[in-house]
Amino acid sequence: MANIKFSAFTQKVAQANVDFLVGYTGADNVRITPAALGDGIYLPLGGGTMVGNIHFNDGINANFGGTAGAWELEIYANVANDAYIAKTATSTGDLIIQNKATDSDIIFSADDGSGGTETYFYLDGSASAGNPYTVFPDNSNLSFGNLAGGDIRIVHNGTDSYFDNNTGDLYFRQEADNKNIIFQADDNSGGLTEYFRIDGLNAINQFSRETFMLDDVKLRFGTSGDLNIYHDGSNSFIDDSGTGGLYIRSNFLVIGKYTGELGILALEDGAVELYYDNGKRLETTATGVKVIDEVSIGTNLVHTGDTDTKLAFGTNNISLITGGATHFVAESDQTTHLYSGNATTLVCDVNQGATFSESVNIGASKKIYLGGSDARMQVYHTGSGGEAIVLTKEGDLKLVNQSHGADIVFKTEGSGGAVVTPLTLDSAGAATFAGSVTGTSAVFNSGITVDGIYIDGAEIDLSSGTLTFDADAYSFLDGDATFAGDIEVENSANGLILESPDGTRYRVTVANGGTLSVAAV
């Protein structure tokens, strides 16, 4: 602008080299004429309506309020083509941009990058109702930082919303004491619900909804990722690959099928139970293990710390081995072997028979019971200095030798230690006594041959056959003798001794030719 001339009293001023003419009309008005001199546009000094344009050159301010150097508001443009609405540094109070028109907005718009303009954001005066809205249209970017495009950018593209950090770490910080950071979303029913919170009061992370991990996505725990939990699409894994052990701890631990069937149950201060198809099969006790049903073992059940003491399972047998020595073998055909000194001592066969390979030692007064549960027959010894007893409670006691032509021989050890044979029952049916026969009665159905016979106060009843005495035989008879057959004394040199009523004993002998001789003895 070349010149500005003021005339307080003239209406018109010469035009030469004058861009604007400001004059006083004398009627309390100032006339501004940007064109030819003459009637122009007037601005009433006492207030009024400006119906024309006001033009301020670069660097020329429109100042409002305050005093020179401390204007409350400045509006100006500079030679760099920048425009400012500002409060001076020395002024006081706030800068307020206000639109009082009902339901109207304050709109901030700028170039759209193509020579046009577009709204970048606006203050929505129609949507407030005590909750003011600052609206950024779709695809508007809130950009923070110096990076082209923004170190942090917030944008909604009309469908989705984005919070992008392009530089450094991203911090979300809640600095209010004991307060939380709460994450909420739709509850799948049109409402809003909390899914997760960072609890500043209890210093924990709290989940209010399920966490869904896709295949091969791992939950990792530990500074070095020592523990991993994941599903690979086919199987689920809990991998403890770091230092230390994997502890699963509970006062009542249940491991089972997702349907609720039990697999493992660990009770507080009590048993651990194992289940098969929801049925208990094994239970630990205070003294060991209780097995509910079968136990399946591969090859050996081995004693801890003693590998040659075991229960060994063969193809068709089971063996009990201690210290490397076999003690018991059970065959699949139901044959059972008992061992002593690694040799078979007893074999129980499939026919319920028992075969002893060695002697059987039964303690004093310990009995062998035969004949059923009521022990009809017993065999035992009463102990040192006692008796050996064969006892039958029912029926006859029979000694039978089915070996053809063989005898039944009774032997005993004499007082001198020599073994003698008091009685022999031969295969022809005869009984031969080597010494005296002592008893209350004797009944014979056939012949009997004795080396000596003594009957005290009883009878001899020989229903048939012959009573024969060997050459050295002698007999004492204190009772009656009834014979249906003959009494035969071989070699009468010893004779037959008879006792008279007065107690005198007489020997009757026979000489060759049949002569009898009687002599007292």
pLDDT computed for residue 10 by the predictor = 42
Q: pLDDT tens, 401-415?
A: 888 889 999 888 877
Sort 148 into a burial class: Cβ within 10 Å, 0-12 / 13-18 / 19+: exposed
pLDDT computed for residue 4 by the predictor = 43
What whole-number distance in Å separates Cα of residue 26 and Cα of residue 10? 8
Q: pLDDT tens, 464-476?
A: 555 555 544 445 5
Place of tokens 């003798």: 481
Task: Give alpha helix (H) positions in 351-449.
Answer: none
- Are 116 and 128 in contact by the 8 Å Cβ rule? The answer is no
Q: What's the predicted TM-score (pTM) here?
A: 0.51
Top pLDDT among 381 and 5 is at 381
DSSP 211: -
pLDDT computed for residue 196 by the predictor = 96
What whole-number distance in Å separates Cα of residue 154 and Cα of residue 17? 55
pLDDT > 70 in the chain, percent: 78
- Are 11 and 25 in contact by the 8 Å Cβ rule? The answer is yes
Q: pLDDT tens, 428-460?
A: 888 887 766 665 555 555 555 555 555 544 455
What whole-number distance in Å separates Cα of residue 28 and Cα of residue 44? 7
